[in-house]
Every structure is written in structure tokens, then in C-alpha cells.
Homo-oligomer: A and B are copies of this chain.
Amino acid sequence: MDSRPTNSELEILNVLWRIGPCSVRDVFEELNKTRTTGYTTVLKLMQIMAEKGLVTRNEQNRAHIYAAQRSESDTQRSLLDDFVDRAFGGSAHRLALHVLGSKKSSEEELAEIRQLLERLEEKS
């Protein structure tokens, strides 16, 4: 019931999060800016997502309006939990080290992380 989005579903969710509730056509056009895909493919996926409860659907108008059911950060948290378990044996801090060590971060980003660290250390 609490099904995790597949890769394609996540791609669609990303559009919904970015541009807000919209029609299949809107998502279709958005996706086709970066890759080629068929209209009915997107439609089918979004219908399935509605069945799964990943999106809600307003059927007032002819072109139904879809919206993401869960927030981006909620979803990310779930995916992250899964991922940490699967790929990092549950060790979140090892994942953090990997991220910080292998990806370039800007000064601002580093500052933000340092700030968060300080808050965490205060609490303990």
C-alpha cells in the first residue's frame, strides 16, 4: 500500500513537484524536453500511479488534473531509508561521508551542512 515509486514514476513525480498539479499533456511535454516518450505511455503510468495512490486525480474537467500525493521531501525520506539499507547496510553516516567526499559542494552548501552539524552537536 505504501508502494515506493519506480524510476519512471519518480520522473513524473518530479515534474508534478516542480510545476504543481497539471494534466497528462503538461507532464508529457515537460518530459519530452529531456527525452522522447509517447503520450499514452505517460498517461498509462499516471493512471497506474493514481491506482497506487501515488497521485491524486481531479476529474472535473475533460483533461484530468493530477497532483503528487506525498510531498517531495516525504518521498525522499522514504527512498533514502530504503537506499541506506540496501546500499549502505543501514549506515547513514557512511552514506553522508560518501556524498561529501565524492561530490563537489559549493561554499554555501558546505556552510549549510556545517550549520546543521552544529545544531546536531548542541542537541547531544
A→B interface (CB under 8 Å): 7, 10-11, 14, 73, 75-77, 79-80, 83-84, 86-89, 92-93, 95-103, 105-107, 109-110, 112-114, 116-117, 120-121, 124
Q: Give the CA-CA distance A105 to B98 in the complex, in Å.
A: 15
- Asked if A113 and B100 sit within 8 Å, CB to CB, the answer is yes
Known: A86-B10, A103-B92. A116 touches B97 (CB 8 A): yes
- Asked if A99 and B96 sit within 8 Å, CB to CB, the answer is yes
A83 / chain B contacts, CB cutoff of 8 Å: 79, 83, 87
Q: Looking at the complex, which one of B14, B102, B110, B124 makes contact with A121 (CB distance below 8 Å)?
A: B110
A123 to chain B, nearest CB (A): 10
A120 / chain B contacts, CB cutoff of 8 Å: 100, 105, 110
Closest 3 CB pairs of A and B: A92-B103, A93-B109, A96-B99
Known: A14-B89, A76-B88, A105-B92. A117 touches B112 (CB 8 A): no
